[in-house]
Structure formats: structure tokens, C-alpha cells
A and B are shown apart, each in its own frame.
Chain A
Amino acid sequence: MSHSLDAYLILAGILFAIGTFGFLARRNAISMLMSIELMLNAVNLTIIAFGAFIASLKVQGSVIALIVLAVAAAEATVGLSIVIAIFRNKKTPLVDEYDTMRD
């Protein structure tokens, strides 16, 4: 089982779906960011799995996964500081109360 590409890909698909559910369903902005991190991890697992099981992608998979890791760190920094900046003005972390642009 650990020697088949399909098992890893389905595992990554389940993790991505969980992240999608969290992003769509949670009310807290930080919970949504955590769900995005889960989805990024699922994508990284997919890249690593392809790198490990497709002979022509052997090293490139790991390199691309490392680059995705750095981009995820940058995304988390900017996203969380945006949430903190909004929280300072609106005094709530719940996204359904951010309705200034609706009026």
C-alpha cells in the first residue's frame, strides 16, 4: 500500500477536500487560513508523490515542493497580518461580519 502512487494521491485528495470544507464552512477568518494551509499541504504531498513514483520527475518533485513550502510561508505571513489589521478595525474575527463593502 505504501508502494503505490494511487494511495498517496487519494490521501492528498481527501486532505484537500477537508481543507475545502473548512474554507467554505468556518466563520472564523483564522480557521479559513488554517484550511488553506491544509490544502497547500495536500498539494505538496501530491507533488512529492509524483516525484517519488515517476522516474523522470525524480529530483524536480522535491525541489518544487521546497519552493511551494517557501511560498506557503509567505502566504501565511501576509494573510495573518491582513486578518490582524482587519480585526483592529472591526473588533471581530468572524468573516460574515465584514460587510463594509456590501453597503
Chain B
Amino acid sequence: MAIPSAVPFINLGWDDVLFIILSVVMIGSALLVVTLRDIIRCGLAMMVSFAALAGLYVLIGAPLVAAAQVLVYIGAISVLVLFAIMLTQTKAAPARLVFQTQAVPAAIAAAVLALLIALTVGATNWNAVDAPIRVGTAILAQVLFDQFVLPFEIVSVLLLAAVIGGIFLAKREKDSSI
């Protein structure tokens, strides 16, 4: 049985439906990240948001970046965040008040920001092509190690500095006089 070219009953293509589903999951779980009371659940919702974003990267034609997103964000950064949550939660200070006192102005500012971005995007002519261009891994590697080889090396030095800095900052000191 052949798959129909458009989704039955609603007149949309499959990639449009996928785009809507992934967008709703990503925005919904991002809202959960900033509003949930239990911070462990915030971390788990963040992983869902990153996964939906990886799906969007595949949809837009950047599969290598999607794989890197899964490896780096879901695999590394989320686990790091969950470990930090478990290290810093105390029973003595249950976070009953989740938000600062200026949460309402912050919400208004964020809504205005989203509206401004949407208006700017709608008003600009980007000269965009009609369909997303797929980027193959071979050509990406060629550009990365030819044109962008200096940023690549600088990033490796930056990661080394981050590792050393992380160990130095988080290590337990003998006399905690500071």
C-alpha cells in the first residue's frame, strides 16, 4: 500500500504536519521548562524540547547538526544540568516561590520581544529559496576543515579551557575561608 502524498482528511503535506507537531512539542515543553515548580521536571522537559528541535533540524535538511544536537544537548548538557540540580537541592529551602517578584513585567517584556521578532520577520524580504537545501556531510566536512579550520582549532582550545575551568571552580577546597 502506497503512502498518499498528502495527509488524509486534512489538506496538508506530511512535512507540514511533522513541522506542526514538532513545533508544538518544542514550544510546549519550553513553556514547561520555565513554568514548572519541580526543577527536576524542568530538566526533563528541557530534554524533550531539545529532542523536538533535533527533529526540526532533520526536517530542515541538516542531519549532521541534528545528530550533534542529540549527542551534545540530550546526551551531555542535560545530564550535566540534572547532576547540578541533584547537587544543589536542599530540603531546608524548598523553593515555594518559583518566580521573582518582577515575573509579570518579565512576561510582558518577553511577549513584546516575540511580537517584535515576528513583525520584523514578516516585514523583511529575505530572498529565500522555496525548499530547504539539504547539506551533505562530505561537503560540510570539506568546508569545516578548509575554510573554517581556524575557528575549529580555537573551539578545541576553548573546550580545553572550559574543562580546566570547570574542574578548578567545582573542586572542593581544603579551607573554605572564602
Contacts and interface: CB of A to CB of B under 8 A. Distances in A.
Which 10 residue pairs across A and B have the least CB separation, nearest first? Answer: A13-B117, A22-B34, A74-B162, A24-B106, A21-B110, A17-B114, A2-B19, A81-B170, A52-B132, A5-B128
Contacts of A35: 33-34
Interface size class of A (residues with CB under 8 A): 35 or more
A24 B113 CA distance: 13
A49 B84 CA distance: 32
Interface in B1-49: 12-13, 15-16, 18-20, 23, 26-27, 30-31, 33-34, 39, 42-43, 46, 49
A26 B13 CA distance: 39
Contact of A6 (B26, B39, B122): B122
SS of A interface (majority): helix
Interface residues of B, number: 94
Interface of A: 1-11, 13-22, 24-31, 33-35, 37-38, 41, 44-45, 48-49, 51-55, 58-63, 65-67, 69-78, 80-85, 87-89, 91-94, 96
Interface in B137-178: 139-140, 143-144, 147-148, 151-152, 155, 158-159, 161-163, 165-167, 169-170, 172, 176, 178
Contacts of A41: 49-50, 53, 73
Given A3-B130, A41-B50, A63-B147, 18 more contacts: A2-B59, A10-B122, A13-B118, A16-B117, A18-B33, A21-B107, A35-B33, A35-B34, A54-B126, A61-B62, A67-B148, A72-B72, A73-B72, A77-B165, A80-B81, A80-B166, A91-B90, A93-B90
Contact of A74 (B69, B131, B158): B158
B166 A78 contact: yes
A1 to B, nearest CB: 5
